[in-house]
Amino acid sequence: MVYQKSRDSIVQKFNENAEKYDSQRSKLIPCFDDFYSIPVSIMNSPSSKPTVLDIGSGTGLFSSFILNKYPDAKTTLIDISEKMINIAKERFSNLANITYIIDDYTSYEFDNKFDIIVSSLSIHHLTDIEKKSLYKRIYELLNNGGIFVNADQVLGHTPSLETLYKNDWKSKVENSGLTEEEIHSAYERTKLDKMSTLEEQLNWLEESGFKDVDCIYKYFNFVVIYGRKNK
């Protein structure tokens, strides 16, 4: 019951914000350009048509950058917010190589494997137990040699650092040009966060079997985490 209530809250908040989600990203993510360009720069596939899974895809923002690099990638987007997926469908309306799934990626049973699995600003909504379970599922869903890239937010590993991260973010958001209503809405969405530390998540990825696990980018609590399924 608690699990379902949490999921329902996430769906409600992101459905409410779907129309403005993309336009607010660059103002809510102070490191926006690096946060999305660096993950794509390390996605090197031997195929020009890699199979890609974007979990918690939202409006397809992250996938849009990947498709700029691999326009023929066979891409699957999964998100629990129907309104977010509808915006993704509009974004990619001219593409035939996209599959859309409205469902909970922590429990959905995929019937194929992928070369690249990505996520952006979604996994931090899961509990520690859910994150650990998800990382194991992602490992199993990857083809041999496949990679997982997670652009997300992490918890400061000390209370002092967490306060530092939050205060820096709030200062930048409040001077970003967003309206008071938009800022309030962003703060309300942070109440859904269940962030874990970077060290914990790197350990969980290694425990799941991933190799070359690393944080390849970090800006306060914004990170890009990488792992590879060994051939």
pLDDT digit string, tens, across residues 173-193: 999 999 999 999 899 989 989
**CA pair distance 230, 146, nearest whole angstrom:** 8
Cβ pair 190, 7 in contact under 8 A = no
**CA pair distance 138, 134, nearest whole angstrom:** 6
For 67, half-sphere exposure in the C-beta direction (CA atoms, 13 angstrom radius) is 20
The pTM of this model reads: 0.90
Q: What percent of the chain has pLDDT over 70?
A: 90
- pLDDT, residue 2, reads 45
Q: Is the pLDDT of residue 19 over 60?
A: no
Cβ pair 47, 71 in contact under 8 A = no
Furthest C-alpha separation in the chain = 50
Q: Is the pLDDT of residue 5 over 80?
A: no
- pLDDT, residue 23, reads 74
- Relative to beta strand 51-55, strand 74-79 is parallel
Contacts of 163 (CB under 8 A, 6+ apart): 156
Q: Is the pLDDT of residue 223 over 90?
A: yes
Please give the average per-residue pLDDT across 127-153, as a whole number: 97
Cβ pair 74, 97 in contact under 8 A = yes
Beta-ladder partners of 151: 120, 224
Write out the two tokens for 59.
């409006």
How many contiguous H segments (helices) and E segments (strands) does the chain have? Answer: 9, 7
**CA pair distance 117, 216, nearest whole angstrom:** 16
- pLDDT, residue 40, reads 97
pLDDT band of 140, cuts 50, 70, 90: very high
Please report the domains of the chain, with CATH numbers, ordered by start residue: 2-228 (3.40.50.150)
Left (φ > 0), alpha (ψ -120 to 50) or beta: where does 220 sit? left
